[in-house]
Structure 1
């Protein structure tokens, strides 16, 4: 009897263009997992845009652009389930019983929520922000994902999903077959890439190179990247984080070791480093950008991909919600 492929749940908020940090930290890994036979679920959490802002601007365009990036990097739309939060009512219904399984104190203690509140664009913390981990638990558990690729900073959210799964099974399926599996984290081995300002690479901070950026724009951004005063280029992530991040980026694009890239540049300084990185990035992204430009001419195709994904996600969410209602004695 064939084993069921592992389900992997991942996604990105539609708050801006995906960039090199997303690609090497997550997107590349999604393509690999799909090639290895994983059943890939990619949520576009449009409702969650509102966790740290008052309005969701240009949302339709940004959702389509996410789909565009996914297809351009190699996600197979015929196999992956790419869907939006707002199109799957049964998924969002899971939020209500899940909220009953966590305390307000636990939500306040979540370190990821604390960090997101600290960087929020809102004058006051909304209920949506506070319950963000429970929304993510619904995203993960509705399709009974076994693996969730996360960064170290997202581990508290995944632990919240594991806790909710465990408590639901204990309360509503004691001694029987559990309704939900406890998903495992798949931590990325990829080192952190810094933004051009030396801070965390972010869609909202203007310090990232978007996958869809032009070669000229890429060159301009990298020319302004922060380095340091030492002329000799060396890979030392602790003492020289900005220079080392640029070396890491060139090495990733070239499939080489960053120490080797540094040795070749030697005493040529930061200007040569930036030129090497620019050439490496543009060469690596050229086929991705070509596919992206070709796909962008048919926006109807992007919407069709979403429609198929939404339909499949609804089938699964409806079945899961039916299980939940049965376990809770709510089948009237």
Structure 2
């Protein structure tokens, strides 16, 4: 059994433990603010965060602005992207009073954990990470030191607040596994400080974009949560389908058709196969109109809440000030523990 299958097999038991005692768990999750959040983010992780918070699980959200430059030459539009992400979090139902939302660059102690953590992993282990391997293959340039150590930086994100539950899709599972390795090796070498976090596989671990590939801002195949109804209609209508009238779900042979079916199914809590059967011989036009209606209906309330939130000019500043302050308190306390464990707390009597 591979790692993903083994993790999935444990999900029922983990979900039962979370439901029975949510106060035992702390979630760390977040995004790199490289652009607007899209349906892949929502169905992949955002709604899971809302669900967990509703159960009573403490939630910490990082907007990893430092990690934007792992595979980009610039962090242009960073402030706008951070603002947009926070609006989408709150519109989706995240409770600003119960959620710590912070940015990497505002928490020095978190980033300082990267140094001792790097001593616990090998170059071979880092290069074996799927994200690092994919970037090296796709970039056509030398691998930067920041990209190579990206998995360890993510470990610092998780461990600085001693998170023990991390909602992820299939692609990010190796990052949680490396974090567990870092925590275990630190504890073995220096003394017990960190929990070994568990991965919680989200209900929609892989969300295709409108061209059948993974939904991604960089591919230009995403439906942003902040799109208007008209913008959504325009991007869906541009999706390439085919001339076959009969609608069938075939991700390999009919990627555009299947991506639209999957999107509509997620938005209506149905299945791609059921929607294909309902549309029958309606063709691509009927499929696109069905998908447009499904998306716009599903996110109408989200868009209304988002517009109302955006009217408050001080909201984002207030949320970040509170979150950054809390994250700094937690990170500094953890760093003090790490220094003490490593014998580097020189101010101690």
TM bucket normalised to smaller = over 0.9
Q: Which runs of 5+ in 2 are unaligned?
A: 1-20
Q: How much has 1:73 moved relative to structure 2? A: 0.8
Find the counterpart in structure 1 of residue 42 from structure 2. 23
Q: How much has 1:245 moved relative to structure 2? A: 2.5
Distance 2:71 2:216 in 1: 14
Q: Superposed, which structure 2 residues align to 1:81-92 within 5 Å? A: 81-92=100-111
Find the counterpart in structure 1 of residue 92 from structure 2. 73
Q: Which runs of 5+ in 1 are unaligned?
A: none
Find the counterpart in structure 1 of residue 258 from structure 2. 244
Find the counterpart in structure 1 of residue 173 from structure 2. 155
Cα 1:70/1:199, change in 2 over 3 Å:
same
Find the counterpart in structure 2 of residue 297 from structure 1. 311
> Is 1:113 matched with 2:132?
yes
Distance 1:5 1:64 in 2: 31
Higher mean C-alpha displacement, 82-91 vs 154-163: 154-163
Distance 1:105 1:263 in 2: 48
Q: How much has 1:111 moved relative to structure 2? A: 2.2
| Aligned partner (choices 26, 36, 48) of residue 55 of structure 2 | 36
Per the alignment, in what secondary structure is the counterpart of residue 226 of structure 2? coil
Per the alignment, in what secondary structure is the counterpart of residue 208 of structure 2? coil
Per the alignment, in what secondary structure is the counterpart of residue 308 of structure 1? helix
Distance 2:57 2:42 in 1: 18
The RMSD of aligned alpha carbons is 1.6
Distance 1:58 1:111 in 2: 27
TM-score (norm 1): 0.94
Distance 1:110 1:48 in 2: 16
Contact 1:196/1:224 (8 A) holds in 2: no
Higher mean C-alpha displacement, 190-199 vs 46-55: 190-199
TM-score (norm 2): 0.89
Find the counterpart in structure 2 of residue 125 from structure 1. 143
Per the alignment, in what secondary structure is the counterpart of residue 35 of structure 1? helix
- Superposed CA deviations along residues 63-122 of structure 1, whole A, max 9, x for unmatched, are 1111111111111111011111111111111111001111122212222211123334x8
Find the counterpart in structure 2 of residue 47 from structure 1. 66
Distance 2:339 2:23 in 1: 25
Distance 2:128 2:43 in 1: 30
Cα 1:199/1:303, change in 2 over 3 Å:
same
> Is 1:208 matched with 2:227?
no
Distance 2:212 2:240 in 1: 6
> Is 1:168 matched with 2:182?
no
| Aligned partner (choices 83, 93, 117) of residue 112 of structure 2 | 93
Find the counterpart in structure 1 of residue 333 from structure 2. 319
Higher mean C-alpha displacement, 100-109 vs 48-57: 100-109
Contact 2:212/2:258 (8 A) holds in 1: no
- Superposed CA deviations along residues 271-305 of structure 1, whole A, max 9, x for unmatched, are 00000000111111111011111111223211110
| Aligned partner (choices 140, 146, 165) of residue 164 of structure 2 | 146
Q: Superposed, which structure 2 residues align to 1:275-290 within 5 Å? A: 275-290=289-304
Cα 1:154/1:325, change in 2 over 3 Å:
same
Contact 1:161/1:182 (8 A) holds in 2: yes
